[in-house]
Structure 1
Amino acid sequence: MGDRVDKEEVRKANDVHVLDYLHAKGETLERQGHYYRHPEHDSLVIKDTGHWYWNSRSKGGYGAISFAREYHDMTFQEAVRDVNAQDLSKTFSRESERHTSKEFEYPLHQEVPKQENISRYLIEERKLDPKIVAALIRKDLLAEDKLKNGVFKWKDSAGKIVGGDRQGTVKMDNKRGSFKQIMANSKEDGGFRVDIGTPNKIALFESPIDALSYFELKRPENIRLLSMSGLKDQSATAGIRDLIKDCKERGTAVEQVIFAVDNDAAGEQFVERWSNYLTSFEVDKPKNKDWNIDLVEAKTPVRQKEPKKAMEMER
């Protein structure tokens, strides 16, 4: 074949929807509103339109060819041949057409009256203060479903539920250690948020549990804690915009924007990208990879070493 592909091969590959290509390659995708997220790469987003963006790499494109080149590190010719070699069914394309206008509807019928499993999980395994967990339940920000998953509800400024994160309470043999999912049709630029006092500051996190862990460790006042459920520019933008609007209605202004994302390369790249848009912000990094690891470490007793026995030396 050499290193050339003809126009017909390119045309054929260009007609392939990136979601169909991923489906044919056996990749697992999670639908979140009008886009899909790769479970192994939180910052990789593929839209119904065929556009994709890899936030942590600051790379994006349209269609299967460009995606194959970035994701599989292929040349243009290799990508064209790989796309055309798949057994394509157009399953994802047809599904996306059916769901593009569907709004989020919270499945209240799936809730159970008690939150025993998620409370135990957050308190015993994630080491959150029982008072914090109880307050979330009381404010209807945390629930439990029939499958023993915790549900962190995304609410807007009017109190409407616009999405949610599901958090499993049973350990699983996967990269994340437990089941995690953004609920279907959740608002694309939404996220789990908690207001402390009268917020004039906002701190941005990658998960609800990290946001809650940060609060317990630092006990900040008058702040909005917002989880982006990954590194999502649209959630950060909407979160800052909404706080500006809320403060303006109270006759005040936003005093501080804090990036409190994970202490890793993806988090650093996210903050660096945002430095091009914001002239003033703060970065608050966890000591370990994330804030919950810091919290668990702070609450885990250090085993005291046994005192060294005095050794007699013969003279």
Structure 2
Amino acid sequence: MPTTKEMTLDELCNQSIQGYLDLKGIPYDQQGPYLRLKDHDSLVVDTRIGGSHTNETFFWNSQGIGGNLYHFLRNYENLDKVATIAELKAVAPQLSNRPLPNIQATRKPYQPKKWQASQDSRKMGQMLNYLQNVRKLDPVLVHALAERNLVRPLSNGDAFFAWVDNKGQEVGGDVQGTRINYNQFGKRGTRKMIARGSRSQWGFHFNVRDNRRKDLSCDKLYLFESPIDALSFFQMNGLKVPEGGNRHFVSLNGAGSKVKTLLPYLAEYGIPKEIHLGFDRDEAGINGVYKAVDLINQWNFRNTVTVYVDQPATGKDWNDALKVGDHRKQVQTFKEWAKEHPQPGQQVSRPEQQQQPAWGQLPFDQPKVRQR
């Protein structure tokens, strides 16, 4: 393999896109040779090499653009020409040592033992500092999750959000980096990925039961792009003694298209009366809303469900609003929201101040994660 100095410009530009995604911790779903990004589900990478395919390529359907790794950095990372070439040279040593993927390999099942909690108290401190001081999650909330093994520090101090099925078995998880490094992780600043083998029909979720009810059936389903968004919304809008129906909070890992994987979840917990979409207030979030509604409209029970769009008054997402202490929100039916947000989306107007309930003790209902 040639060194970075020996690589031609074409060789630099045609390096592995999948290798770059793995190096930077950019999450994606894989279907055979194709990768679909979590945060922009219309961006697809073709990893096939051979015949007419001389290198990995991508195509961003919503933007109408595509190409090799050079074009990916220009458009996805929004780098100029000089910065793109510098980045290609910087990542070349690691990408050149990366083994070629075996796209014929079968999908390996999720292995919980690979994602066990670190026993090093310093790693726990690193995770707590990030979640409580950087992300501003309430210590009561974080410790309630940790006690149930729903969030835990990994050996490198990153936070792991466990996915649990209806039987209490761990079936996957999200990795949220706790070290901010824009040079390594680009504009996101931290590592984000899905644990290999995670069962796609599940995600990080938790339930809040109406204090007048004993069952856990789903009356109101709240969907978010990430675990931290779901927790931020709950912290700002959760009631100590909730009434008005059982509420389920689910992370979709950044893609509105994952709504189609919710059917097994709904088969277990029942069809909700309301579905609330709490996606980001950016173009990807707006497209995610439309994608989710398109999929919901394909369900045979769509006429019994009312779809709402819940958005914060401040920032791009719910955690942005939490960090600045702005608990205002705007809740609209999808039809009302769509009048103001045709594709592509427009700026959300700021709603009037709403009085928020006091933050109190957590009414978690699901059991602790069972250890294997």
Which TM bucket (shorter chain)?
0.5 to 0.7
- What code does the residue aligned with 2:204 have? F
CA distance in 2, matches of 1:93, 1:239: 30
Matches within 5 A, 1:101-112: 101-107=107-113, 110-112=116-118
> Is 1:202–1:243's contact at 8 Å kept on the other side of the alignment?
no
Residue 109 to residue 45, structure 1, CA distance change in 2 (3 Å): closer
CA distance in 1, matches of 2:221, 2:135: 23
- State the Cα deviation string for residues 106-165 of structure 1 (Å, max 9, x = none): 126742245332122211111111111111011220111221111110111111111111
Match of 1:73 in 2: 65
Please list every run of at least 4 consecutive aligned residues from structure 1 whose deviation after the TM superposition is greater than 3 angstroms: 21-27, 51-65, 71-75, 88-93
Match of 2:260 in 1: 237
- State the Cα deviation string for residues 245-276 of structure 1 (Å, max 9, x = none): 323xxxxx411111101111111111112322
CA distance in 1, matches of 2:287, 2:203: 20
> Is 1:226–1:239's contact at 8 Å kept on the other side of the alignment?
no
Tell me how large the CA RMSD over aligned residues is: 3.6
Match of 2:319 in 1: 292
Q: Are 1:223 and 2:263 counterparts? A: no
Matches within 5 A, 1:11-22: none
- How much does 1:61 deviate? 8.9
- How much does 1:89 deviate? 11
Structure 1, unaligned runs of 5 or more: 1-20, 32-37, 80-87, 248-252, 301-315
> Is 1:142–1:153's contact at 8 Å kept on the other side of the alignment?
yes
- What code does the residue aligned with 1:209 have? I
Residue 290 to residue 109, structure 1, CA distance change in 2 (3 Å): closer
Matches within 5 A, 1:18-37: 24=16, 27-30=19-22
Q: Are 1:266 and 2:284 counterparts? A: yes
CA distance in 1, matches of 2:158, 2:257: 27
TM-score (normalised: structure 1):
0.68
Match of 1:256 in 2: 274
CA distance in 2, matches of 1:106, 1:120: 24
- How much does 1:46 deviate? 4.2
- What code does the residue aligned with 2:205 have? R
Q: Percent identity?
A: 25
Counterpart selection for 1:208 from 222, 227, 250: 227
Match of 1:97 in 2: 104
Residue 162 to residue 203, structure 1, CA distance change in 2 (3 Å): same
User: Secondary structure, in 3 states, of the residue corresponding to 2:176?
Assistant: strand
Match of 1:283 in 2: 309
CA distance in 2, matches of 1:166, 1:25: 21
Structure 2, unaligned runs of 5 or more: 1-12, 72-95, 210-215, 297-301, 328-372
User: Secondary structure, in 3 states, of the residue corresponding to 1:178?
Assistant: coil
- What code does the residue aligned with 1:102 have? K
User: Secondary structure, in 3 states, of the residue corresponding to 2:230?
Assistant: helix
**Structure exhibiting the larger radius of gyration computed from Cα positions:** 1
**Aligned residue pairs: how many?**
253
> Is 1:51–1:61's contact at 8 Å kept on the other side of the alignment?
yes
Residue 209 to residue 200, structure 1, CA distance change in 2 (3 Å): same
Residue 285 to residue 91, structure 1, CA distance change in 2 (3 Å): same
Match of 2:159 in 1: 150
CA distance in 2, matches of 1:178, 1:54: 16
Residue 193 to residue 150, structure 1, CA distance change in 2 (3 Å): same
TM-score (normalised: structure 2):
0.58
> Is 1:244–1:254's contact at 8 Å kept on the other side of the alignment?
no
> Is 1:110–1:145's contact at 8 Å kept on the other side of the alignment?
yes
- State the Cα deviation string for residues 167-202 of structure 1 (Å, max 9, x = none): 222221232122222212222333111111234221
> Is 1:201–1:256's contact at 8 Å kept on the other side of the alignment?
yes
Residue 69 to residue 179, structure 1, CA distance change in 2 (3 Å): closer
Match of 2:202 in 1: 190
> Is 2:277–2:289's contact at 8 Å kept on the other side of the alignment?
yes
- What code does the residue aligned with 1:187 have? R
User: Secondary structure, in 3 states, of the residue corresponding to 2:137?
Assistant: coil
> Is 2:117–2:154's contact at 8 Å kept on the other side of the alignment?
yes
